[in-house]
Amino acid sequence: MKIFSILARAFTAIGILALHLSAPAGPATAGVPPGRPTIVLVHGAFAESASWNDVARDLRARSFPVVSAANPLRGVKSDADYVAAIVSSIPGPVVLVGHSYGGSVISAAAVGKPNVQALVFVAAFAPEVGESAADLSGKFPGSTLGPTLAAPVILANGGKDLYIQQDKFGKQFAEDVPPTVAQLMAVSQRPITEGALGEAAPAAAWKNVPSWFIYGDRDKNIPPAVLAFMAERAKSMKTVVVKGASHVVMISRPKLVSRLIVEAAGAADAADAVATAKP
């Protein structure tokens, strides 16, 4: 009996400790919108899910649930279907966040998903139906991506995987990131198929879902003029232009990006509450 009593006290102590560890800390939850939607982060070409690490860390400190999806980078429709499946698995409101090509993906993935409350485009494409990333990149001058690409990797199905040359990655993709970090990013970059960049967008959720935009004014992948055009066309709720920031603003300025995501989540949640309260 004494042993059982000791075990009972031990399990009670463990339960209390677990409760304390799982309970949100007071300062971290300041300004967090009620309901705390899940933030789904979708990376783009030549990046990977870890590119969101600092943003995810900040969001988690504010007690937001976070999913950093591993975007396949195979094609807009198939990638959007993959992300849409993740959204469908989440029992509650979602804020979709896309970087670069990931913007095309979230804009298609959100269609028909009533739990998606907001879209946040981080140096990202927001294509009209029928537009491709390649179309938009060439809409205004300024992209220097083409000459930095390595010789394509020919796939078994005849497709082509594209990478940025490692020695040109930092200057092209992440000029405002410490060189040692940029070098590791170059090594771990995920390739995108040539077909994905040329694939027409099947849907444009930004027409119906409130959208927020943030990008750097020194983006060399997507010209800032293109990003401004897309934000205006989407009737962006708020557009943040970060001076001196490169294409990977979520890595070089993570707190600015997470701040906009929190703002988008709060605004969308408030709007949903008003709509729900109407008779």
- pLDDT confidence of residue 10: 39
Model confidence at 218: pLDDT above 70: yes
Q: What's 186's domain CATH number?
A: 3.40.50.1820
The reply to whether 1 falls in a domain is: no
At residue 164, the 3 state secondary structure works out as: strand
The reply to whether 16 falls in a domain is: no
The reply to whether 7 falls in a domain is: no
- pLDDT confidence of residue 229: 98
All residues at 6 or more sequence positions from 69 whose CB lies less than 8 Å from its CB, including other chains: 40, 41, 42, 43, 49, 82, 83, 86
Residue 246's CB: how many other CB atoms inside 10 A? 26
The reply to whether 223 falls in a domain is: yes
The reply to whether 268 falls in a domain is: yes
The reply to whether 273 falls in a domain is: yes
What is the total count of domains within the chain? Answer: 1
Strand order, beta sheet including 160-162: 153-154, 160-162, 192-193
All residues at 6 or more sequence positions from 132 whose CB lies less than 8 Å from its CB, including other chains: 76, 104, 197, 198, 199, 200, 201
Give the domain extent around 59. Answer: 35-277
**Long-range contacts (CB closer than 8 Å, 24 or more residues apart) made by 27-31:** 28/61, 28/62, 28/63, 29/62, 29/63, 30/62, 31/62, 31/262, 31/266
Averaged pLDDT for residues 185-202:
98
The reply to whether 26 falls in a domain is: no
Averaged pLDDT for residues 195-211:
98
DSSP 8-state symbol, 221: S
What band does 270 get if pLDDT is binned at 50, 70 and 90? confident
In one letter, which amino acid is 219?
D
- In sequence order, the β-bridge partners of residue 73 are none
The reply to whether 2 falls in a domain is: no
Model confidence at 6: pLDDT above 80: no
- pLDDT confidence of residue 239: 98
Which one has a higher pLDDT value, 203 or 268?
A: 203
Report pLDDT digits (tens) over 86-117: 999 999 999 999 999 999 999 999 999 999 99
How far is the CA of 6 from the CAs of 11, 12, 13, 18, 214, in angstroms? 9, 10, 11, 18, 56
* Closest by Cα among 95, 101, 116 to 43: 101
Q: Is-contact 82 72, C-beta < 8 A?
A: yes
- pLDDT confidence of residue 30: 37
d(CA 120, CA 98): 6
Q: What is the mean pLDDT of the chain?
A: 88
Q: What is the pTM of this model?
A: 0.86
